[in-house]
């Protein structure tokens, strides 16, 4: 009798780990580390229940992929056991390249390297580890497999990744409006000419998906207090690197130390030692370093760290228009007068930038809808009354941060 | 110690009946009858779990009204116990004028009388029954009370009625995309200048409400098979009345008999006997009459009845454009050839009409948003990227029905 | 491409109707009739949301059976497509013999015939209807198939039937304590020596199942107000039959008329006409008859009917001990004095009986637990601290009913 | 207009922070630290979603307390605003004395001091911080207030604390069988003679609560793999302290360093510096220390740490009886032969102990049930058929841990 490991998950129900290769990878320390990386970084400072990890999301997506493929099989799409395994592994590993506090620190710990490229390095490692058993998985992940619908499922406009993280982030944050009918959307998937399509009868579910995603962006992912916290985190690492370059000593765990002292590029990840050092980092190292740095003699660094740990965040103003430079200048000056900061130091406390919900990028991939007459069209062609500009135009917002103590 | 009656409700949680006047009305046979009228009429033919009743919805709205008013009190809005009672009773009775299979039969059983006008007749009855205790309730219901926010809560663009029925219809139909964050929306309600407003921070919940409503319309309320069933129900009563006028005998329960034989107008409802006869009717009388009529010798009547009972419904085609008259004519002719029907009889089996989601009527009432600077604007002014035409333009769809046996 | 019909269900998620034989049976009027029979009869008088039907339960059990069998296949149990179909059909049809208000009227409409025996008559009918395609299904249902675990799943101590109705009744009544982890329990099923067993690690889920069932019994199924309503329903039919036998005319729908006038035995169900008449009956006929009878000149009949329709039920007292005959006598006498009733008539208004939760019958079948060392034991042997007497001893309660108007 | 802060919570719905004193305490770093202490310690190694924090539980209990008191007010119990505030603060602070990985490390970081006593130290601190505003809160917490039902709600057999953590732990672990009808149980609370009682009609909810608690104990809190992980954590700190005492250097964060080097007793917590050092510790310090120690040259320490971080846990055997000493000896010997460990070192890898679910302690406090005749009895007197020995007898289990590599 085959031994099947079952995990409880309040979102997915039961997650079955049915193949040895699955458990071999899950049990590896490189994968176990995802237990210590939160899916939504600092978001729990606003939504206290959003403490779910990349480990949970990854396994949830893994499970949903298998459900989707089973449904496609039921509809007569021919999917071999090898393909099932490869696609399941690809989604299981698609996010493994994320570092701690991923989006916020993506360019702070390792500059100019996309987490998907690091995921690829890990997959290559695991391919060796499993004696070449990830060849097909790698092909699918890099979109070189002859049946592109697998890649559409792994990484597309409406893929398994998004279907899991949206429902999960909505569930744990408690923002129920962001809930997505993932179970329903996989039911309307089909394959035509080896491409992923969605059956016409389900377009309301797709519209709901798009709206829910927008809600999650503006209400959760880009919530202005979350933004304020992430900006402080980014500034902390900017300052720390600046101090290190200026020759100051920064106490921290030796894995983190490596990334503060060296500028790592994508190529370096081919070096197993670098990969290993990266794989040793998680949210815990970052938070403990920041806790230590609250005692650092550099005022800028210690004050920023204290703010994050005590949740004494910046005030954030939001605007559809770029903020007036004069106003920013006045705030900066007031700050330097009151706290005696230099020109460079001021930029850590008063600053403006913008965010945009660029995910609605309609150029790169489409949501194909299969009409009952067999024709395939884009969602924007059948979604009557649905504002396609809503879908494709990036929403943009400018923000301005400064200490609460500053009178405006 | 005050005795409080508590009802279990899977949507609302616990519904507390805390005042004697509430139980007096609920216990009256006129109110108990709502237990035998389904909220969504024939919708269970497509969504088998949608068997919830007007009784449930009415009590759920009653509970939600009290929650909303408690929240407003917490925010410093002055609401007396008398006002609390009046508003609770108004929402409890707002739908009591619905007859069986309300929307479908609204113009079949009693022509040209709106169910809200019948509700008013019932309220007047209950006002007498409770020795004039519904005076304030009636004022609120008819929008004659000096504090209009109560009427906004009872009947507005975003009122307690909709907040309850949308979440409830979504829950019981199983269409989770239509779920509405009613609990959240009542949290962002406030009152300015005696009008109902919604706090700016909650606009995503309102957008979600509008989208969810649209989903419920097209996916549930106007689902084409539901439509097909309702059309058959309407045709059955049209035929029955036609036969009665032609002097034929139609066997049915004597309450229903009354409405088949007489044309009742709004004024007649002032007559207690008419009100009483209307209050005796429920879904059960209709279904049993139809079951009996499956044996009627009139082929048109018996065939339509059989189709409804056995769920052997018409085929429905949907189109954004009006259907070609020629095509309808051809279908009719084929039908009369195959089944030997007269010109008049044919119209019961092949017909076209349209539906529109006219609820997004933006002219009559608005959703007022309270910005953090105290300004009040319409939702369409702050909902960036939100397609206001989506909200206000009525979506329209034409449909064409004919027997499945007819080759197209 | 195979056409798959999908139904929405708030409890089961999506129910897939994947085989033609499934839809052929579901579409038959004999099956469609289950839409008009509530799963819990009059329970909605206490739990207003408990309006779900036998149609919903039957399809939910059908879906859960397929999930269970898929899980067993994953565990290496060899199950052919034919067996899958047969077991799915057996559970789909296991309850089709229920008449309106089943448990309450089980001995009123047709005396001394078990609903399971009527189910068998229907299955035989459907076997002919599908040209003998139900042979294996019938074998499984009657426990004549050589692999008994199929019968255990259809009808055992812990079968698919109970796993669906408990979760469903809990969901719709709103009594969440009665919820059962059906998804989890099917995960721990296994087959040893062709018998159904439950893996040791899941015994807490089984304990929870037994407790939840007990809660549902005492809190919902045997709720004293539900009991009072059911007793009135039973008395109504007793009186109606009595009047018929005495030669009085009782107005009702002609299908119901048949069962009031004739005493039907099990053998009669072999007659297609009798089966057909039975299949024509549903809750609607009963309720409309009772509404009509509220106007009957027999005071006993009309008063009982009015009580049920207006929810003006009897007072019920509950006791662990049998009620004192003297007290019952006094109540009866007071009643006959005040209302002038004869000896026989009194028994319709003052009476005592008992209920027992006899389902915990441990003699007939067992819950087999598979320990990790391969040994199979009964649940009572491994459930440490669990009170086995709680499971096996029938709980018994006596009740006494009389009109509220009677002073005690 | 009063500003009310609202937090989203997937379990409690919305949590309103309506008083300034509430936010003052929540915003304090001593309270914010609870965001970094998981409610269930290492349990996420088995239930990957169980990452919720003490911060969440504390606020959930705070919210539930207010709901309970509002319900009691509705029932006519006189509760002043001051009492409402005091009870809310008491439950908000009842767990603040927990250190990182509380139960597991309760005797490792600070020996022989109960977390409730530390909570009291924190409350005294906050009493000063709020200028004596916690006097009544302290009275209630220490059961010196003249109305004992407040203490029953804060800390009793069936208190708000348990009502929140059970539903929350069930929700996040995904073990739905452990769900508790907390909303329902607060509905049946009442106060008689200033003591907390539960109305008779709700005893099934109470039985369900007791069973759910038992399920959570054996299925989650005392799950054998969780146990194995906690034992490793305890052994790690035992070894670390041993090494420190032997004069070895152990690298760690200076707050943790303090507790490794000094034996702290309850009295020391009166020293603000000690309290401050304790308040600086959280799960993050512990995990990062353990990650560092995986590189320590002491084989015992580094191996135990590696096991925890990589989730390469011990094998655990469970038994109702004490394990045979001889067998333990043999395992130890085999271990020392294969790995060359000393007598003392062996005890870190092969050991036996027992756990018991001692919470069912019936002697200290009771669950009072209010019968409809006004009498008050214990739950065990009315819960017919309910096994009172199940409730009161502590379940006990012995376990034996050893490395998986050891052949048994």
Q: What distance in Å separates residue D215's CA from the closest CA in chain A?
A: 15
Please state the rounded mean pLDDT for residues B309-315.
Answer: 95
- Cβ contact B207–A219 (<8 Å): no
* Rounded average pLDDT over C350-371: 74
Q: pLDDT tens-digit profile of A230-267?
A: 999 999 999 999 999 999 989 887 889 899 998 888 88
Full strand arrangement of the beta sheet holding B315-319 = B315-319, B396-402, B351-356
**What are the tokens at B25?**
């009305």
Collect all residues of chain A within an 8 Å Cβ-Cβ radius of residue B208: 177, 211-212, 215
Residues of B in contact with A215 (CB under 8 A): 204, 207-208
Look at C386 and D390 and tell me if their CB atoms are within 8 Å.
yes
Nearest CB among A2, A75, A184 relative to C75 is that of A2
Reported confidence tier of residue D407, pLDDT bands at 50, 70, 90: low
Instruction: Report the C-alpha gap between A70 and C258 in whole angstroms.
Output: 50
Query: D177 contacts in C (CB within 8 Å)?
Result: 181, 184, 204-205, 208
CA-based angle C5:C8:C10, to the nearest 5?
155
Nearest-angstrom CA–CA distance, B87 and B69? 9
Which tens digit of pLDDT belongs to each residue from D223-245? Answer: 999 999 999 999 999 999 999 99
Report how far residue B15's alpha carbon sits from residue B24's, in angstroms, rounded to the nearest whole number: 16
> What pLDDT is stored for residue A385 in this prediction?
46
B115 band by pLDDT with thresholds 50, 70 and 90: confident
Enumerate the residues of chain B whose CB falls inside 8 A of the CB of residue A177: 181, 184, 204-205, 208
User: Using one digit for the tens of pLDDT, what is the confidence trace for D4-53?
Assistant: 688 999 999 889 898 999 999 999 999 999 999 999 999 999 999 999 99
Chain D CB contacts of A288 under 8 Å are 253, 284-285, 288
**Per-residue pLDDT at C192:** 96
Contacts of C14 in chain A (CB under 8 A): 183-184, 187
**Is the pLDDT confidence value at D140 over 70?**
yes
User: A3 CB near a chain C CB, below 8 Å?
Assistant: no
Interface with chain C: mutation pick from B13, B24, B48, highest number of C CBs within 10 Å: B48
The model's pLDDT over A167-195, given as tens digits with 9 standing for 90+, comes to 999 999 999 888 888 988 999 999 999 99
* Other residues' Cβ atoms within 10 Å of the Cβ of residue A380: 16
Chains in touch with C (≥3 Cβ pairs < 8 A): A, B, D
What is the pTM (predicted TM-score) of this model? 0.90
- Partners of residue D35 in chain A, C-beta under 8 Å: 44-45, 48, 311
Tens of pLDDT, residues B48-81: 999 999 999 999 999 999 999 999 998 899 999 9
- How many beta-carbon pairs under 8 angstroms link A with C? 28
Confidence of residue C340 (pLDDT cuts 50, 70, 90): confident
In terms of residues, how long is chain B? 408
> What is residue D138's predicted lDDT score, i.e. its pLDDT?
97
Q: DSSP for D11-32?
A: TTEEEEE-SHHHHHHHTSHHHH
pLDDT > 70 in chain D, percent = 93
- Provide CB contacts within 8 A for A140, sequence distance 6+: A86, A87, A90, A150, A151, A154
Q: Chains near D, with 3+ CB pairs < 8 A? A: A, B, C
Asked if B6 and D75 come within 8 Å (Cβ–Cβ), the reply is no
- How far is D261 from chain B, CA to nearest CA, in Å? 50
Q: Which residues of D touch C218 (CB under 8 A)?
A: 204
Judged against a pLDDT cut of 70, whether residue A408 lies above it is answered with: no
Short-list A17, A366, A64, A92, CA closest to A186: A64
Range with the lowest mean pLDDT among A219-223, A229-233, C122-126, D364-368? Answer: D364-368
Of B176, B181, B218, the CB nearest to A181: B176
- Sign of the alpha-carbon dihedral angle for B189, B194, B200, B204: positive
Strand-pair partners of D198: D189, D369
The DSSP-derived string for D240-251 is HHHHHHTT----
- Using a 10 angstrom Cβ sphere, with 0-12 exposed, 13-18 middle and 19 or more buried, the burial of residue B81 is exposed
> For the residues A72-80, what does the mean pLDDT come to?
93
Give yes or no for residue D361 having a pLDDT over 60: no
Question: What is the SS3 assignment for B131?
Answer: coil
Closest chain C residue to D394 measured between Cα atoms?
C385
pLDDT band at C79 (very low <50, low <70, confident <90, very high): very high
Tell whether D372 is within 8 A of chain C (Cβ).
no
Start-to-end Cα distance in chain B: 70
Q: Which of D218, D384, D386 sits opposite C204 (nearest CB)?
A: D218
Residue A322, classified by CB atoms within 10 Å of its CB into exposed (0-12), middle (13-18) or buried (19+), is exposed
CA distance B25 to chain D (A): 21
Q: Give the mean pLDDT of chain B.
A: 89
Q: What is the nearest CA distance from A208 to chain B, expressed in angstroms?
A: 6
Q: Is C318 on the interface with D (CB under 8 A)?
A: no
Section C101-115 average pLDDT? 81
Query: Which residue stretches of C101-159 are H helix?
Result: 102-105, 115-129, 135-141, 149-154
pLDDT band at C389 (very low <50, low <70, confident <90, very high): very low
Q: Which of D288, D289, D292, D294 to mutate to test the interface with A (most CBs of A within 10 A)?
A: D288
Distance, in Å, from the CA atom of A128 to the CA atom of A135, rounded to the nearest integer, reads 10
Using a CB–CB cutoff of 8 Å, tell me whether A308 touches chain D: no
Residues in chain B within 8 Å Cβ distance of C9: 48-49, 174
Decide if C75 and A14 are in contact by the 8 Å CB cutoff. Answer: no
Using DSSP, state whether B369 is helix, strand or coil: strand
Report the chain C residue with the minimal C-alpha distance to residue B30: C310
Distance of CA C297 to the CA centre of its chain: 34
Task: Quickly list DSSP for D357-381.
Answer: ETT--TTT---EEE-TTS-EEEHHH
Neighboring chain B residues of A387 at a CB cutoff of 8 Å: 385-387, 389-390
Chain C partners within 8 Å of A184 (Cβ): 14
Q: Which among A195, A98, A204 is positioned nearest to A156, based on CA atoms? A: A195
What mean pLDDT value characterizes chain A?
89
In this predicted model, which residue has the larger pLDDT, A255 or A408?
A255
If you write DSSP's letter for every residue of B22-53 in order, what string do you get?
Answer: HHHHHTSHHHHGGGGSBTTGGGGGTSTT---B
pLDDT for C166: 95
**Is the CB of A1 less than 8 angstroms away from the CB of C76?**
yes
What's residue A365's pLDDT? 62
* A64 contacts A164 by C-beta, under 8 angstroms: yes
Burial grade of C209 (CB within 10 A; 0-12, 13-18, 19 or more):
buried
Q: What is the pLDDT of residue D177?
A: 82
């Amino acid at each position: 009798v085959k031994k099947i490991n079952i995990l409880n998950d309040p979102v997915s129900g039961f997650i079955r780990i049915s193949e040895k290769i699955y458990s071999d990878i899950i049990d590896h320390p490189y994968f176990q580390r995802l237990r210590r990386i939160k899916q939504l970084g600092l978001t729990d400072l606003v939504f206290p229940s959003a403490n779910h990890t990349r480990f949970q999301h990854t396994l949830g997506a893994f499970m949903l992929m298998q459900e989707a493929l089973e449904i496609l099989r039921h509809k007569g799409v021919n999917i071999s056991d090898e393909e099932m395994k490869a696609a399941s592994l690809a989604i299981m590993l698609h996010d493994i390249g994320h570092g701690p506090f991923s989006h916020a620190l993506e360019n702070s710990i390792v500059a100019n390297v996309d987490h998907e490229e690091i995921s690829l390095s890990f997959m290559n490692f695991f391919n060796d580890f499993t004696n070449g058993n990830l060849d097909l998985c790698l092909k699918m992940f890099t979109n070189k497999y002859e049946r592109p619908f697998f890649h559409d499922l792994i990484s597309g406009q409406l893929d398994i990744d998004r279907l899991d993280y949206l429902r999960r982030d909505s569930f744990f944050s408690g923002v129920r409006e962001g809930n997505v009918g993932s179970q329903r959307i996989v039911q309307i998937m089909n394959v035509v000419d080896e491409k992923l399509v969605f059956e016409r009868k389900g377009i309301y579910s797709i519209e709901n998906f798009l709206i829910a995603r927008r809600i999650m962006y503006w209400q959760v992912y880009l919530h202005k207090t979350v933004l304020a916290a992430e900006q402080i985190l980014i500034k902390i690492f900017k300052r720390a690197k600046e101090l290190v370059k200026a020759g100051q000593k920064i106490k921290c765990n030796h894995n983190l130390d490596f990334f503060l002292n060296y500028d790592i590029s994508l190529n370096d990840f081919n070096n197993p030692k670098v990969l290993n050092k990266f794989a040793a980092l998680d949210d815990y190292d970052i938070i403990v370093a920041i806790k230590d740095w609250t005692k650092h003699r550099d005022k800028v660094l210690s004050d920023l760290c204290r703010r994050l740990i005590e949740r004494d965040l910046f005030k954030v103003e939001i605007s559809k228009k770029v903020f007036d430079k004069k106003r920013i200048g006045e705030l900066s000056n007031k700050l330097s007068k009151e706290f005696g900061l230099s020109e460079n130091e001021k930029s850590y406390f008063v600053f403006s930038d913008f965010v945009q919900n660029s995910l609605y990028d309609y150029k790169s991939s489409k949501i194909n809808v299969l009409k009952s007459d067999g024709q395939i069209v884009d969602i924007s062609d059948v979604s009557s009354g649905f504002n396609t500009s809503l879908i494709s135009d990036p929403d943009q917002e400018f923000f301005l941060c400064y200490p609460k103590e500053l009178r405006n």
